Amino acid sequence: MVQVIIAIAQTNPTVGDIDGNVALVRETRARAAQAGADLLLFSELLICGYPPEDLVLKPALQQHCQSAIETLAAETGDGGPAMLVGTPWVEQGRLYNAVALLNDGKIETLRFKHDLPNYGVFDEKRVFAAGPIPGPIPLRLSDGSMIRLGVMICEDMWTEDVAEGLEESGAEILIIPNGSPFEHDKQDMRLNLAVARVTETGLPLVYGNQVGGQDELVFDGGSFVLGRDCRLKAQSPMFETDLLITRWHRDDDDRWICDQGAMTPPPTELESIYRAMCLGLRDYVEKNRFPGVVLGLSGGIDSALSAAVAADAIGPERVHAVMMPSRYTSEESLEDAAACAHALGIRLDTVPIEPAVNGFSTMLGPIFEGRPPDTTEENIQARIRGVLLMAISNKLGSMLLTTGNKSEMSVGYATLYGDMCGGYSVLKDVYKTTVFALSHWRNQNHPADALAPSGRVIPERIITKPPSAELRPDQKDEDSLPPYDQLDAILQALVEADESVTDLVEQGHDETTVKRVSRLLDIAEYKRRQAPPGVKITRRAFGRDRRYPITNAFRGV
């Protein structure tokens, strides 16, 4: 019986670290060889890392990648597995998103991505030329038989044209190297698209995705194989590196059949979001070589959840929390911050801000004379805290982690150069209602790769008390905003679905509230432009997913 072993490498490359990525290929290939693999599949643009953005336009990087591919190709003369490796490639003066088949000591062939995505976070038409619809790649096996591989690069799977072209020209297995970033409901979408391609072509499908964080994107892995019957035959874990070994044989009709292999079920939605936040932060800290993070711990739920994610991601010993009380800080907040820090095992320092507040009052007194206190004085407190945290970050070298959530950032309920100070945000794309759900989830669960203690790491009172910025006496968020369940429902419709005020009113929302939220969303764009990067969780994260003008007179009413 003719057999073939296909290994799927779910690896975590680093953008721009070509030598490090080559070492990753070598190490993975050695493991695949030990498993007897005939073919090893790597993810999209692995050699330079994905997405390289405009970095890939540098001729020096292009040349380095080509040299790396040539070196790796020569190493396949050792009789080990052939490799499909993603790389940028220049041919006849045009730059392509390519996959190279490396086998028998040479580059046997190249295939270029045909369908270049140009939406959301993707700008591939900006940097790459589109390749033609590819033909199958013949791969000779050790017994002398041949297998015809239908290689489609990531977006090529999202429409039917490439798959149909490959099937019509004789492909036997569809092979998809991917760089597909996480969204909270995306794995089902991938599976549905893969099922559609299998149904249309009658061919089995191998889907290999990368894993790891790259700036705002998190790649969640979840590589899988679908049989001709559209059933899952093997699946890698999500949010972890993996080498998935799959074994294939021909049936009586000479069609390739994948034997049942390792199956790791995907996590629940809340676990997926939490682990995406951890992975995004971990790789941002590690790949940019920060020793750790510092954050303000206020006794509120956003900073508590951010601290939990940080402790789980990089270890409690690398998380430094700072409580910065003012005259408006409640005793409960002081107690809750201390209890949270203790439960997580992180360092907590206290730096009162009252001396600085008094100093600003004295300095600005002559200019502000005769004017009553307002949000100006509230913002001064937030900016004093931002200055303190940035000073600690500068002096000790830890990255400042900002703690604002998507609901606040949507409506501008945040202070520029104050609580928006920071190098990264794990809650940037997480609505407030999801913050509450994640906090409950973390108290009841301990992810396998979490480095902080298990158990109730976020005190219950932090979750149950009414949210407050504590910048004036008896302040509550609902003094300025609708209740978060109402606010988030409106925001999700406006931001994620681009629904209009009229649509929302027809759905039963209060017209005055919807108009107010819509206006706040529009006028806060200038703040969001100045916000730090953060983990993409939803379909439309602020930034490259949703690009709106700051100067904008359209109100949609």
Omega before residue 51 within 30° of 0, cis = yes
**Dist CA 4 CA 6 (whole Å):** 6
Q: Which residue in 441, 446, 389 sits closest to 420, CA to CA?
A: 389
**Dist CA 29 CA 103 (whole Å):** 12
Q: What are the beta bridge partners of residue 175? A: 151, 206
**Dist CA 326 CA 355 (whole Å):** 9
**Dist CA 54 CA 377 (whole Å):** 42
Q: Which residue in 173, 183, 166 sits closest to 121, CA to CA?
A: 183
User: Which listed residue (44, 124, 183, 408) is catalytic?
Assistant: 44
Task: Tell me, yes or no, if 154 is annotated catalytic.
Answer: yes
Task: Tell me, yes or no, if 186 is annotated catalytic.
Answer: no
SS3 346: coil
**Dist CA 114 CA 134 (whole Å):** 8
Contacts of 512 (CB under 8 A, 6+ apart): none
**Dist CA 86 CA 40 (whole Å):** 12
Residue by residue, DSSP assigns 460-489 as HHHHHSPP---SSTT--GGGTS--HHHHHH
**Dist CA 98 CA 105 (whole Å):** 19
Q: Which residue in 135, 175, 169, 172 sits closest to 153, CA to CA?
A: 175
User: Which listed residue (113, 406, 428, 536) is catalytic?
Assistant: 113
Task: Tell me, yes or no, if 340 is annotated catalytic.
Answer: no
Q: Which residue in 441, 404, 170 sits closest to 296, CA to CA?
A: 404
To which residue do tokens 């092979």 refer?
175
Fill in the DSSP letter of residue 157: G
Here the tokens at position 258 are 């994948």
User: Which listed residue (48, 65, 154, 278) is catalytic?
Assistant: 154
- CA angle in degrees (0–180, nearest 5) for 1-149-53: 145
Question: With the C-alpha atoms ordered 490, 495, 496, 497, is the resulting torsion angle positive or negative?
Answer: positive
**Dist CA 504 CA 518 (whole Å):** 11
To which residue do tokens 């764009």 refer?
525
- Catalytic residue list: 44, 113, 154
